[in-house]
């Protein structure tokens, strides 16, 4: 991610994930409002939360032993690491970066309604400011 306004901060993504499903009490809403579009609706902290990719992250990764590699496709040096590796480093306490969930796959209308209301409530509380409601294209698949 390049801008922290491009997604839900991990803490908020976890709150959304943990909301109980209103009609299927054995489920949490994170199973139908799937962070990162992951097929089984895993917990946001397990995989899908992205850091902001910048020099600060690179410096922290270099301290942990990661190295730059040159990419012919990108035509620049970069550190090859995926979101799962970043999540594991963060969850293991080895890396401290802010993480965000920048996309969701929403499986049902109830999930879409809860997602929209969650974003609206965050806006009302001034804890999350973005143009998400204008930029987000939500698709509900039945």
**In the prediction, which pLDDT does 135 show?**
43
Reduced to 3 states (helix: H, G, I; strand: E, B; else coil), residue 115 is: helix
Cα radius of gyration rounded to whole Å, the chain = 17
**Model confidence pLDDT, tens digit, residues 30-51:** 999 999 888 888 899 887 667 7
pTM of the model: 0.75
**Model confidence pLDDT, tens digit, residues 82-103:** 888 888 999 999 999 888 888 8
**Residue 16 in this model has a pLDDT that exceeds 90:** yes
Task: Count CA within 13 A, CB hemisphere, residue 36.
Answer: 21
Domain limits, the chain? 15-44+104-142
Q: What is the percent of the chain with per-residue pLDDT over 90, rounded to a whole number?
A: 46
64-98: string of b/e by CB count within 10 Å (b at 16+)? Answer: eeeeeeeeeeeeeeeeebeeeebbebbeeeebebb
**In the prediction, which pLDDT does 132 show?**
47
């Amino acid at each position: 991610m390049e801008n922290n306004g491009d997604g839900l901060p991990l803490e908020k993504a976890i709150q959304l994930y943990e909301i109980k499903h209103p009609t299927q009490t054995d489920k949490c809403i994170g199973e139908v409002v799937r962070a990162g579009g992951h097929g089984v609706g895993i917990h946001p902290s397990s995989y899908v939360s992205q850091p902001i990719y910048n020099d600060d992250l690179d410096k922290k990764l270099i301290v942990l032993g990661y190295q730059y590699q040159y990419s012919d496709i990108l035509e620049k040096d970069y550190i090859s690491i995926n979101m799962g590796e970043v999540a594991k480093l963060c969850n293991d306490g080895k890396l401290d970066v802010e993480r965000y969930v920048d996309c969701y796959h929403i499986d049902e209308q109830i999930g879409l309604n809860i997602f929209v209301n969650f974003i609206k409530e965050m806006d009302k509380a001034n804890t999350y400011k973005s143009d998400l409601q204008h930029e987000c294209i939500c698709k509900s698949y039945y």
